[in-house]
């Protein structure tokens, strides 16, 4: 991919995208890196950058949030480390320690969550894990940014002496303060501090009564500040100790600087890593504001931007609470160039800029505000001619500038180029300028380039209709209100609505008619035909949408009916099972009742034992009959319901209703029974029979058992099976093969 010309960046307002990203960076180095963003030259680098931003964006909705990685730049420290014999200051070491610690935290995080962030984990490998510098700095400097007492033996000794002298000074000064206060020579404030030394606040009239060194006076001269003689000698000792302490600290920091100096390149690398992370985070935050995504990057030459938003317009309108209308645009080998026409202020130019800016952002490593199912290819070059570039300094008119730009287009435009031209052909005589624009467009077309232009010229609309891989498009205009809808419609040219808009804006009707008479009839017919076609298309689209809704309604009703039918079928099956069970229960109850009636109705002849025997035999016979029925596929159940011995009027009516319902659903129940029978027979037929044993030594088990034995002998259709503790003689068809004999 070639570098993008500064003019294209300016036309598409790419600098405003950079400004927004810079505002989201947390560090100055991150803002500097954002200013250097440009189109990637290699596809592999671009895909890696897009994946980095996409993973960081995903972390916003992830429980495993990426740790904070703000830092203070150490550019100055890196320069000083290259000067031999120079010692870094305490604050510099704190910045270096923090830089290393932040890097280590990120490396550990991406190592732990490599599954979630594979690309960022790979990026973090550039920031080498280091604890040595942190340990060295922590040995010398405490958490408050001060050199520790035990940083060296000499420093420890000096500070111990310093504290002792400070204690003596405090004691001596306290004694002097008490003494002179008792003598009444001190002012009300009693004491003060000058040059980090405690001094007595002596009234001017008593200054000669206090021995010591005068350190200053008040503004009015009424107070003399005197250091007591008793503390003067101790103060000089303290000053010497403080000097020795400062010299020792310098020596310690110089040694620590010498330890750090070999790591200068390493520190530069991890600062670059954290700077990159700051930029990635800013790009991800910007993508979050735009609801931007990573489209599918395809090898074939296809650009399908579904629901594409202009990022700057989207955020500006969002801040104002205004609506932004997305566009759906598609380029492919069969539709390489789109010619947009239609009225002014309809959104032609913003559509053009949307395509160019989104493609430029994508090839610079930004996620873009489109539908996730969009697709994009990569272009070697992006050429633009947008806006009025009249130049007074260079003595160029608008048209001269455009011609100069077209010369640049003719040099650069190839098959892998995306070109965008606004108001193509304007700035000159419509007929002559239109002819030249048509020639340029034909040339770009034959070179196989992809492009989008906006125009009012009829000859360019006709050309787009004639060439097979070029298409017309228009910005939809509401014919009723004559207001733009900001929707792009592919497939037909757009009317300029010149006279209609003029009439809507209050231009006198007579003037409009006079203007119409000055226009060629063919031009009016052409514009009128376009307008008529747009109205017809709107009508057909409305009808199509209506038919789609009706079709969807019918599908929903059909689906609902199927669900209802299935529920009815399920209820019928459950009712059939319940009905058969009840019928069987009634049948058995009636049989038992008949047997009992015979037992009690026959006159007793004293043969009670014989009657009991007959009763028992009848019951056993009934049980045997029922058991024999269980072996059959389906029990034979009488369809007539026996009449109970005594029933009331309400019961009769209820039973009559039940009988009527049963008669009505009996055919359906019979169908269900038949289906169940067929399914049962089918399942039985498909059942796999177990493999029978064939050889002595085969391991087998009974079909009805679990114990496993070994065949010792086979005679005809019988086998002697050895179970270890006993043997048995069994029919072979009652055995199931568990394992064949492996030794023959």
283 shares its domain with 330: no
Lowest mean pLDDT among 155-159, 375-379, 600-604, 690-694: 600-604
Number of structural domains in the chain:
4
Task: Supply the Cα-derived Rg of the chain in whole angstroms.
Answer: 49
Give the model's confidence band at 643: pLDDT under 50 very low, under 70 low, under 90 confident, else very high: very low
pLDDT tens digits, one per residue of 429-452: 667 778 888 899 999 999 999 999
Secondary structure (3-state) at 731 = strand
- The mean pLDDT value for 651-680 works out to 62
| Rounded Cα distance, 307 and 292, in Å | 11
Q: Which two tokens stand for residue 160?
A: 């111990």
In a domain, 416, yes or no: yes
Q: What is the DSSP letter of 624?
A: H
The CATH number assigned to the domain holding 109 equals 1.10.1420.10
The total of other beta-carbon atoms located within 10 Å of residue 79's CB is 11
Return d(Cα 52, Cα 362) in angstroms, integer.
13
Q: Which residues lie across from 376 on neighbouring strands?
A: 297
Tell me what pLDDT residue 125 has: 84
Task: Give the Cα separation of 658 and 473 in Å (integer).
Answer: 71
Do 369 and 441 sit in the same domain of this protein?
A: yes
Distance between CA 144 and CA 156 in Å, rounded?
Answer: 18
The band of 127, judged by pLDDT with boundaries at 50, 70 and 90, is low
Determine how many CB atoms are found less than 10 A away from the CB of residue 326: 18
How many CB atoms neighbour CB 402 within 10 A? 27
Task: State whether 287 and 317 are in the same domain.
Answer: no
Dig out the tokens for 176 from the structure: 């002097």
DSSP helix/strand/coil, 537? helix
Whether 512 is covered by a domain: the verdict is no
Question: What pLDDT digit, counting tens, does each position of 287-297 carry?
Answer: 999 999 999 99
Residue 341 pairs with which residues in a beta bridge? 474
Kindly state whether residues 347 and 457 are assigned to the same domain. yes
In a domain, 136, yes or no: yes
| Contact residues for 454 (Cβ-Cβ < 8 A; gap 6+) | 339, 340, 341, 348, 349, 351, 352, 421, 422, 423, 424
3-state secondary structure at position 638: coil
Q: What is the pLDDT of residues 250-291, one digit of tens each?
A: 999 999 999 999 999 999 999 999 999 999 999 999 999 999
One domain, residues 367 and 499:
yes
- For residues 623-650, give the mean pLDDT: 51
User: How high is the pLDDT of residue 700?
Assistant: 85
Q: What number of other Cβ atoms are within 10 A of residue 83's Cβ?
A: 10
Measuring CA to CA, how many Å separate 208 from each of 200, 203, 223, 577? 13, 10, 13, 125
**Mean local confidence (pLDDT), 546-551:** 82
pLDDT tens-digit readout, 12-31: 999 999 999 999 999 999 99
Question: Is 344 in the same domain as 439?
Answer: yes
- Are 722 and 633 in the same domain? no
- Residue 550 in any domain: the answer is no
Residue among 419, 415, 392, 387 nearest 406 (CA): 419
Strand, coil or helix: 710: strand
Q: Which two tokens stand for residue 189?
A: 């404030």
- How deeply is 87 buried, as exposed, middle or buried, from its count of CB atoms within 10 A (0-12, 13-18, 19+)? middle
* Dihedral class, residue 196 (left if φ above 0, else alpha if ψ from -120 to 50, else beta): left
CATH code of residue 390: 3.40.50.300
Other residues' Cβ atoms within 10 Å of the Cβ of residue 623: 11
Structure confidence at residue 669 (pLDDT): 62
If one compares 690 and 365, the residue with the highest pLDDT of the two is: 365
pLDDT at 226: 83
Supply angle C-alpha 298, 304, 306, rounded to 5: 130
Domain for residue 276, yes or no? yes
Residue 314 CB contacts under 8 Å (≥ 6 apart), including other chains: 290, 324, 369
Which of 273, 292, 311 is the endpoint of a domain? 292
Helices and strands (H, E) in the chain, number of each type: 21, 19
**In angstroms, how far is the first alpha carbon of the chain from the final one?**
75
Q: Residues 120, 265: one domain?
A: yes
Nearest-angstrom CA–CA distance, 340 and 491: 10
The beta strands (E) that lie in 172-322 are given as: 186-194, 197-203, 212-217, 223-228, 296-297, 303-308
The verdict on 677 and 707 lying in the same domain is no
78-96: average pLDDT: 92
Q: Choose among 161, 349, 316, 353: nearest CA to 239.
A: 161
CA triplet 197, 200, 205: central angle to 5 degrees? 145
| CA 217 – CA 220 distance, rounded (Å) | 8
Give the list of residues 6+ apart from residue 457 with CB closer than 8 angstroms, or none: 424, 425, 430, 433, 434, 437, 438
Same domain, 494 and 628: no
* Count of CB atoms situated within 10 Å of the CB of 665: 14
pLDDT at 635: 46
pLDDT for the residue numbered 56: 95
Last residue of a domain, one of 239, 268, 292: 292
**Single residue among 246, 273, 292 that ends a domain in this structure:** 292
Structural domain includes residue 690:
no
Q: Mean pLDDT, the chain, as a whole number?
A: 82
What is d(CA 179, CA 200) in angstroms, rounded to the nearest whole number?
Answer: 11
* Same domain membership, residue 312 and residue 279: no
With 60 as the cut, is the pLDDT of residue 156 above it?
yes
Indicate whether 235 belongs to any domain: no
Q: Which domain holds residue 712?
A: 699-739
Q: Which residue has the tokens 């070994």?
A: 710
Q: Tally the residues of the chain.
A: 744
Q: Please state, in angstroms and rounded to a whole number, the distance separating the CA atoms of residues 106 and 90.
A: 25
Domain contains 214:
no
Examine the domain organization and report whether 389 and 463 are in the same domain.
yes
Q: State the number of CA atoms in the 13 A half-sphere of 392 facing the CB.
A: 0
Q: Which of 276-285, 287-296, 316-325, 728-737 has the lowest mean pLDDT?
A: 728-737
CB 562 within 8 A of CB 570: no
Whether the CA torsion 26, 30, 36, 40 is positive or negative: it is negative
In degrees, rounded to 5, the angle at the alpha carbon of residue 160 between the alpha carbons of residues 159 and 162 is 60
């Amino acid at each position: 991919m070639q570098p993008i010309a500064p003019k294209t960046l300016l036309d598409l307002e790419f600098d405003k995208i950079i400004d927004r990203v810079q505002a989201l960076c947390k560090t100055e180095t991150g803002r500097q890196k954002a200013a250097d963003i440009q189109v990637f030259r290699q596809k592999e680098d671009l895909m890696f950058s897009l994946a980095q931003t996409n993973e960081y964006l995903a972390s916003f909705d992830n429980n495993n949030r990426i740790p904070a990685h703000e830092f203070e730049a150490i550019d100055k420290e890196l320069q000083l480390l290259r000067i031999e014999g120079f010692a870094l200051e305490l604050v510099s070491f704190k910045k270096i320690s923090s830089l290393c610690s932040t890097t280590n935290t990120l490396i550990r995080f991406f190592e732990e969550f490599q599954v979630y962030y594979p690309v960022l984990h790979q990026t973090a490998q550039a920031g080498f894990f280091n604890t040595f510098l942190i340990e060295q700095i922590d040995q010398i400097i405490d958490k408050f940014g001060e050199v520790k007492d035990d940083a060296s033996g000499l420093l420890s000794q000096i500070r111990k002496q310093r504290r002792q002298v400070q204690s003596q000074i405090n004691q001596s000064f306290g004694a002097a303060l008490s003494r002179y206060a008792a003598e009444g020579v001190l002012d009300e404030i009693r004491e003060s501090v000058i040059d980090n030394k405690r001094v007595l606040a002596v009234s001017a009239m008593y200054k000669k009564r206090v021995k010591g060194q005068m350190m200053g006076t008040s503004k009015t001269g009424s107070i003399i500040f005197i250091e007591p003689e008793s503390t003067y000698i101790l103060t000089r000792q303290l000053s010497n100790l403080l000097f020795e302490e400062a010299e020792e600290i310098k020596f310690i920091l110089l040694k620590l600087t010498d330890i750090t100096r070999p790591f200068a390149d390493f520190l530069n690398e991890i600062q670059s890593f954290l700077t990159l992370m700051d930029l990635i985070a800013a790009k991800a935050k910007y993508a979050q504001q735009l609801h931007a995504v990573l489209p599918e990057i395809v090898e074939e030459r296809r650009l399908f931007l579904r629901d594409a938003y202009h990022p700057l317009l989207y955020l500006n309108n969002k801040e104002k609470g205004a609506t932004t209308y997305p566009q759906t645009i598609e380029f492919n080998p069969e539709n390489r160039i789109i010619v947009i026409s239609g009225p002014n202020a309809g959104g032609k130019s913003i559509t053009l800029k949307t395509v160019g800016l989104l493609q430029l952002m994508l090839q610079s490593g930004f996620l873009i505000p489109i539908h996730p199912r969009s697709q994009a290819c990569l272009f070697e070059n992006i050429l633009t001619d947008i806006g009025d570039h009249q130049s007074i300094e260079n003595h160029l008119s608008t048209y001269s500038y455009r011609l100069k730009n077209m010369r640049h287009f003719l040099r650069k435009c190839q098959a892998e180029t995306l070109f965008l031209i606004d108001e193509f052909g304007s700035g000159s005589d419509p007929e002559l300028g239109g002819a030249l624009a048509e020639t340029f467009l034909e040339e770009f077309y034959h070179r196989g380039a992809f492009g989008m232009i906006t125009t009012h010229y009829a000859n360019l609309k006709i050309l787009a209709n004639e060439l097979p891989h070029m298409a017309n498009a228009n910005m939809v205009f509401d014919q009723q209100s004559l207001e733009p809808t900001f929707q792009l419609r592919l497939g037909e040219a757009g009317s300029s609505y010149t006279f209609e808009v003029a009439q809507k804006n209050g231009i006198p009707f007579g003037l409009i008619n006079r203007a119409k008479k000055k226009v060629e009839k063919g031009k009016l017919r052409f514009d009128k035909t376009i307008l008529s076609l747009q109205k017809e298309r709107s009508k057909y689209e409305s009808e199509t949408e209506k038919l789609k809704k009706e079709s969807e309604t019918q599908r929903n009703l059909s689906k609902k009916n199927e669900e209802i039918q299935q529920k009815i079928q399920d209820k019928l099956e459950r009712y059939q099972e319940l009905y058969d069970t009840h019928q069987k229960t009634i049948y058995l109850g009636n049989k038992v009742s008949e047997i009992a009636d015979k037992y009690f109705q026959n006159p007793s002849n004293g043969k009670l034992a014989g009657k009991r025997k007959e009763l028992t035999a009848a019951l056993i016979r009934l049980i045997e009959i029922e058991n024999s029925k269980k072996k059959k596929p389906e029990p034979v159940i009488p369809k007539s319901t026996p009449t109970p011995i005594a029933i009331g009027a309400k019961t009769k009516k209820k039973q009559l209703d039940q009988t009527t319902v049963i008669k009505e659903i009996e055919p359906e129940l019979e169908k269900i029974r038949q289906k169940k029978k067929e399914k049962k027979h089918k399942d039985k037929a498909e059942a796999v029979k177990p493999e029978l044993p064939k050889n002595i030594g085969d391991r087998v088990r009974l079909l009805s058992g679990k114990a496993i034995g070994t065949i010792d002998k086979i005679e005809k259709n019988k086998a002697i099976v050895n179970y270890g503790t006993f043997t048995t003689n069994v029919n072979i068809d009652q055995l199931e093969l568990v394992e064949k004999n492996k030794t023959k």
